[in-house]
């Protein structure tokens, strides 16, 4: 294809063509950023009519839609690829073979950003920790930008010339094209199988995630997950987090003889766990991670602890909805993989177990090729009832039964959330019920019955509200 000449005013960065592959929010931010920098920019997307095309700068004259244009990519000086586009895409793979650099918006951001960067990834909880660190920084009076995989494209943060700290949530898709990130502090919160269809296997996934540590000036490590430990120099400042009593200078949990749990740094008790609005042991780990990240960028401890006590968590992430007839309802619809659901079951289960309480777990949707038998040990320990919904419900039940599910755990095929709530009422009305909490943590995608995890979570919350209304009417 022919490439039209750009206006002379736009060529002061050289005539090397910058090709943006994929016109989502991050692709749009790249097109605006590079145009403002004076580069000649082209955009290509698989969609024949990308929704955001009308928001492109007028200077972007080359717009190749309806398929990723391999000819265009081979004329690029640099390709900036959107996270949703795989490096294995034929046109992209050809360009890489021709030694054309392929980078992400995150690479551009890191090269341009003068503020220290807090870089956060993990299979689960990265949005929670990113938001929390951002709030801690803001409450401490720091001019902070929060973005990346969390909704605001990283490059958009550069508009704030006063930014003193950047807090980035980074996905494995974003990281696989990043080199030498150079974060002030970096962490992999946890690792469990996810996106293996993209990365090939757990090794590929692990390698993508661990690119976050390249050039890092300090690191935060989860002692409970060996896969989070980075291969970095021993003299690099590091702080670890975990569920047991910590060593000097590290974060952990101290449990008193009466069962009271405290967030701790070394031997110092920082905060009683019951002062947190977010519940579950996994959230105690998230709180520690945020404190450790904040410490390594110089945030004051007292201020961080004050923020922590006000933090209500994120929508659809182990979110407390309401208590109805002494049973607590939690919306963890964002739990779309087994690792996330395991964290929620273990985290909440440990809260109710000392009171001889059990969870009722709602599972199911689209299984994404996962092995649900991995959930069985935690279900046996903390759950008395499992309600299964969605198109892969029968498969999930088979996996659980094949993995030596305890005879004390009852399984119910419910197909839909509405049916599940009918079952919830039947189960909890029994005087023999040990259920003290109902947890929606499906471990599955939602697209068989909903537009996404958010709609599924909202429907769950609506059903809880209906229960509350019905309970009020009955009383």
What are the CA-CA distances from residue 37 to residues 10, 30, 31, 386 (Å)?
8, 10, 10, 55
Which residues, in sequence order, are CB contacts of 230 under 8 Å at separation 6+?
186, 188, 210, 213, 216, 219, 221
Specify the pLDDT at position 198: 53
Specify the pLDDT at position 436: 93
Q: What is the pTM of this model?
A: 0.77
In a domain, 2, yes or no: no
Domain end point (choices 54, 84, 103): 103
Question: CATH code at 333?
Answer: 3.90.190.20
HSE-up of 353 (CA within 13 Å, CB side)?
Answer: 15
Give the pLDDT band of residue 202 (cuts 50, 70, 90). Answer: low
Tokens of 280: 């579950």
Q: Are residues 188 and 209 in the same domain?
A: yes
Q: Are residues 283 and 414 in the same domain?
A: no
Specify the pLDDT at position 4: 34
CA distance 242 to 225: 9
Question: CATH code at 81?
Answer: 3.40.50.720
Of 114, 97, 88, 117, the closest CA to residue 176 belongs to 88
Specify the pLDDT at position 1: 30
Catalytic residues: 126, 149, 195
Host domain of residue 244: 107-310
Q: Are residues 385 and 357 in the same domain?
A: yes
Give the pLDDT band of residue 151 (cuts 50, 70, 90). Answer: confident
Q: Are residues 187 and 211 in the same domain?
A: yes
Torsion of CA 62, 64, 70, 76, to 10 degrees: 20
Specify the pLDDT at position 431: 64
Specify the pLDDT at position 473: 62
pLDDT at 8 over 60: no
Q: What is the mean pLDDT of the chain?
A: 89
Domain count within the chain: 3
In a domain, 45, yes or no: yes
List, for residues 435-458, the tens digit of each pLDDT value: 999 999 999 999 999 999 999 999
Specify the pLDDT at position 356: 86
CA distance 437 to 78: 52
Q: Are residues 175 and 27 in the same domain?
A: no
Higher pLDDT, 277 or 373: 373
Mean pLDDT of 161-172: 94
In a domain, 342, yes or no: yes
For residues 414 and 387, the answer to whether their CB atoms sit within 8 Å is yes
Q: Are residues 98 and 133 in the same domain?
A: no
pLDDT at 375 over 70: yes
In the three-class reduction of DSSP (H, G, I as helix; E, B as strand; rest coil), residue 239 is classed as strand
Question: CATH code at 251?
Answer: 3.40.1190.10
Which residues, in sequence order, are CB contacts of 21 under 8 Å at separation 6+?
27, 44, 45, 68, 73, 79, 80, 81, 82, 85, 91, 92
């Amino acid at each position: 294809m022919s490439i039209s000449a750009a206006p002379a005013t736009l060529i002061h960065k050289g005539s090397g063509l910058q090709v943006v592959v994929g016109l989502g929010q991050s692709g749009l931010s790249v097109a605006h950023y590079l145009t403002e920098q004076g580069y000649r920019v082209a955009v290509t997307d698989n969609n024949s009519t990308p929704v955001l095309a009308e928001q492109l700068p007028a200077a972007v004259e080359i717009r190749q839609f309806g398929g990723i244009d391999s000819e265009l990519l081979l004329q690029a000086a640099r390709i900036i690829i959107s996270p949703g586009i795989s490096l294995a895409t034929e046109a992209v793979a050809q360009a890489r073979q021709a030694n054309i650099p392929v980078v992400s918006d995150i690479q551009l951001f890191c090269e341009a950003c003068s503020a220290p960067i807090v870089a956060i990834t993990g299979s689960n909880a990265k949005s929670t920790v990113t938001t929390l660190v951002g709030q801690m920084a803001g409450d401490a009076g720091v001019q902070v930008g929060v973005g990346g995989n969390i909704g605001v494209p990283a490059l958009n943060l550069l508009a704030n010339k006063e930014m003193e700290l950047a807090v980035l949530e980074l996905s494995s898709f974003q990281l696989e094209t990043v080199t030498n990130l150079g974060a002030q502090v970096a962490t992999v919160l946890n690792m469990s199988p996810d996106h293996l269809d993209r990365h090939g296997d757990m090794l590929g996934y692990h390698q993508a995630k661990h690119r976050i540590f390249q050039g890092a000036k300090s690191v935060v490590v989860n002692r409970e997950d060996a896969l989070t430990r980075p291969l970095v120099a021993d003299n690099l400042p590091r702080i670890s987090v975990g569920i047991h009593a910590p060593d000097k200078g590290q974060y952990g949990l101290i449990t008193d003889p009466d069962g009271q749990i405290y967030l701790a740094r070394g031997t110092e008790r920082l905060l009683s766990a019951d002062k947190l609005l977010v519940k579950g042991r996994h959230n105690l780990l998230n709180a520690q991670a945020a404190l450790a990240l904040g410490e390594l960028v110089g945030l004051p401890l007292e201020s961080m602890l004050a923020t922590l006590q006000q933090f209500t968590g994120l929508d659809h992430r182990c979110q407390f909805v309401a208590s109805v007839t002494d049973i607590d309802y939690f919306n963890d619809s964002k739990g779309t993989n087994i690792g996330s659901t395991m964290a929620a079951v273990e985290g909440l289960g440990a809260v109710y177990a000392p009171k001889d309480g059990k969870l009722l777990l709602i599972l199911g949707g689209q299984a994404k090729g996962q092995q649900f038998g991995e959930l069985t040990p935690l279900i046996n320990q903390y759950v008395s009832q499992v309600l299964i919904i969605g198109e892969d419900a029968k498969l999930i039940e088979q996996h659980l039964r094949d993995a030596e599910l305890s005879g004390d755990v009852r399984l119910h095929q419910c197909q839909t959330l509405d049916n599940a709530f009918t079952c919830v009422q039947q189960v909890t009305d029994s005087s023999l019920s040990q259920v003290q909490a109902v947890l929606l943590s499906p471990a599955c995608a939602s697209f068989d019955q909903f537009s996404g995890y958010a709609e599924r979570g909202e429907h769950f919350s609506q059903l809880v509200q209906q229960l509350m209304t019905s309970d009020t009417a009955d009383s």
